[in-house]
Amino acid sequence: MASIENKINELREKLRKHNHDYYVLDNASISDYEFDVKLKELQELERKHPEYYAANSPTQRVGGEITKNFETIVHDHRMYSLDNSYSKEDLQDWETRIKKLVDGDIQYTCELKYDGASISLTYENGKLIKAVTRGDGFQGDNVTANIKTIKSVPLQLKGDYPNKFDIRGEIVLPFEGFDKMNEERVALGEEPYKNPRNTASGSLKLQDSGEVAKRPLECLLYNLTGNNLGVEFQYNSLDKARSWGFKVPRAAKLVDSIDGVFEFVNYWDVERHNLPFETDGIVVKVNNLHQQEELGYTSKAPRWAMAYKFKAEQVSTKLKSISYQVGRTGAITPVANLEPVELAGTVVKRASIHNADQIEKFDIRIDDYVFVEKGGEIIPKIIAVDFSRRTGDSGSTKYIEHCPECHTELIRKEGDAKHFCPNYNGCNPQIVGRIQHYISRKAMDIDSLGGETVLLLVNEGLINNYSDLYVLTKEQVIPLERMAEKSADNLINGIAQSINIPFERVLYALGIRYVGETVAKKLAKHYKNIDAIINASQEDLVNVDEIGVKIAESVKLFFSEEKNIGIIERLKGFGVQLQVSSEKLERLTSILEGDVIVVSGVFYEVSRNELKKLIEDNGGKVTSSISSKTSYIVAGDKMGPSKKEKAEKLGVLLISESKFLQKIT
């Protein structure tokens, strides 16, 4: 039997090598026929000897697994978005900002920005164990079965790979494969797919992995994530990833200055049109990973990276009418209804106009021909009017004065760009929008309850605010359109489970204007429970870290509404978490209350992120720049000389990692 096992392992290894040569290196080492013969031989041996089954065998790429519901998985390491820039001046401004925050010379790794579907692959002991979509950055969908069918994704790594790590990249559909798929669809009398990006993204959520296996998808990787990975530079990490078997395009370039970045931009602004797959810009990253750690993250993006977007495609089309949408906060957004036009691979029928000021600035009128582009190549927007085609009898656009839904007179406060409908509790889109926000993934995450179902529940009179969700019964929801018994069970169970969502996310879910995820976390951490926030004065609120007058006014206004207080009391009664959990409270202390602390250097006992969390959990504030207000610096290995010099000049104390840890224990 040992010889059978050896034969199986030998075939697997050969097929892995041939797969890598063909799909990663674009260098076939054997013919397709020879490959198929070896694959069939392996399939037959595995069929006769199931005791030697291996999840990462090359035979598992053929697909066939059916996934009806994609499991939601929390990312071990958050998948951040990137900040965008649209000019070389933007890039220069970014460089100026980061040079204030790190010591020494800065090198940059320039990479192409692939236009596909983001993916995070997790490997343990060299084996692919899961593949998760980006989702909201905090959690995504488990699409492992589908990803395993993509030939350029290694199922088993080679070389000196770490024990466990994530690698991020994009699933793309090359033009050649996309065109071939469309030729086949047209031949069958079916509608062709619109563009490679959307087709690649849609492929990841197909229920039958056998269908995914038929699509010529590729996986292009660009970022290693994890602890103790044995690399210190982004550019070197790309070489490492290649050596382990990943497909990492060789377009990346290491440069020593922002001028080198501009050269890369200029080259690819032209050459991108000759690439075999879609790109929409480049990504510039600080090359030194220690400097990346120093720079850290904003609430949405890494400070050490910047996307440069190539000039967006523009088209001209006719503006047929302007409609007005009401958001959950009552904000009114004018929307242009256009003659359908092809733009960046999709048919565009609507575009944002943002507000009344933009209508006036561009002098936008019905029946005008307007220029439209995709802002960041995602959301279409009007950028100008083609006055050469305007007819003489068109009149200026008069902005509406009453809500298009409830007909309440609109208001516009000084300093606000938008008009608002003040009918908070009687305007249907606001009611529906608030509940849809409450159930959203970043808030209460009731994924069994969709936006359309919320609309049905409101229109049927079953709910009028988000506290009404908790008294819904299965018998009430089953009669709803497209609601089966299983769906009704999932909906009621999902609502019940939402009472376990932590306080800071509940606070965000309430939908208080200007209270996003970051502000909600600040308020929850400072006040610990909802009653303390309700009773706080505006002056108290402004004294909370990063809470300004505008946010404080909005919070006070929200809790001054008797109906909102009534909803909060109901939520308490249903067991929704409106205070920091006792377990979390036990971890919080005020040892560092009032301390402003800078973290700088490389750390060994705990990670930089853990260090920052320890500071915040113990009442301190983490800041990135040294000033006279800095209490002290937790100084690790390789702290920059200019930071040390500045600390000495200002008389700021430096303490070691171990001394800091002793301080809080």
- Homologous superfamily (CATH) of 74-309 is DNA ligase/mRNA capping enzyme (3.30.470.30)
Distances (CA, A) of 52 to 3, 9, 44, 57: 12, 9, 12, 10
Instruction: Specify burial of residue 295 (Cβ count, 10 A radius: 0-12, 13-18, 19+).
Output: buried
* Confidence at residue 430, expressed as pLDDT on a 0 to 100 scale: 95
Catalytic residue among 113, 374, 643, 644: 113
Dihedral (CA of 35, 36, 40, 46) sign: positive
Read off the pLDDT band of 25 (50, 70, 90). low
Nearest to 304 by CA among 93, 94, 609, 598: 94
Position 153 pLDDT exceeds 90: yes
What are the helix (H) ranges across 105-216?
144-147, 175-187, 196-203, 209-213
Q: Is 646 a catalytic residue?
A: no
Residues 6+ apart with CB under 8 A from 41: 11
What proportions of the chain, in percent to the nearest 5, are helix, strand and coil?
40, 20, 40
Q: Which tens digit of pLDDT belongs to each residue from 328-347?
A: 889 999 999 999 998 876 78
Q: Kindly state the average pLDDT of the residues 636-646.
A: 82
Q: Which residue has the higher pLDDT, 395 or 430?
A: 430
Read off the pLDDT band of 21 (50, 70, 90). low
- Which segment of 9-23, 101-115, 437-451 scores lowest on mean pLDDT? 9-23
Residue range(s) in the chain whose domain bears CATH number 3.40.50.10190: 590-663
Position 2 pLDDT exceeds 70: no
Q: Which tens digit of pLDDT belongs to each residue from 519-543?
A: 998 899 889 999 999 999 999 999 8
Q: Which tens digit of pLDDT belongs to each residue from 202-258?
A: 999 888 888 898 899 999 999 999 988 989 999 999 999 999 999 999 999 999 999
* Confidence at residue 68, expressed as pLDDT on a 0 to 100 scale: 67
Helices 175-187, 196-203: crossing angle, 10 deg rounding: 80
Position 63 pLDDT exceeds 60: no
217, amino acid identity: L
* Confidence at residue 185, expressed as pLDDT on a 0 to 100 scale: 83
* Confidence at residue 365, expressed as pLDDT on a 0 to 100 scale: 93
* CATH code of the region 590-663: 3.40.50.10190
Q: Per CATH, which fold does 312-423 belong to?
A: OB fold (Dihydrolipoamide Acetyltransferase, E2P) (2.40.50)
Quick count: other Cβ atoms within 10 Å of Cβ 442?
A: 16
Q: Which tens digit of pLDDT belongs to each residue from 275-303?
A: 999 888 999 999 999 899 889 888 789 99
Q: Which tens digit of pLDDT belongs to each residue from 157-203?
A: 999 999 999 999 999 999 999 999 988 888 888 888 878 888 999 99
Q: Which residue has the higher pLDDT, 55 or 221?
A: 221
Read off the pLDDT band of 376 (50, 70, 90). low
* Confidence at residue 585, expressed as pLDDT on a 0 to 100 scale: 66
Report the residue count for the chain.
Answer: 665
* CATH code of the region 428-500: 1.10.150.20
What are the helix (H) ranges across 389-544?
428-439, 451-459, 474-477, 485-497, 503-509, 517-527, 530-535, 538-542
3-state secondary structure (DSSP) of residue 126 = coil
Residue range(s) in the chain whose domain bears CATH number 1.10.287.610: 2-62
Instruction: Specify burial of residue 212 (Cβ count, 10 A radius: 0-12, 13-18, 19+).
Output: buried
Q: Tell how strand 596-600 and strand 632-635 pair up.
A: parallel
Give DSSP secondary structure letters for 1-55: -HHHHHHHHHHHHHHHHHHIIIIISS--SS-HHHHHHHHHHHHHHHHH-GGG--T
Residue range(s) in the chain whose domain bears CATH number 1.10.150.20: 428-500, 503-585
CATH top-level class of 503-585: mainly alpha
* Bridge partners of residue 66, in order along the sequence: 208
Read off the pLDDT band of 586 (50, 70, 90). low
3-state secondary structure (DSSP) of residue 448 = coil
CATH top-level class of 2-62: mainly alpha
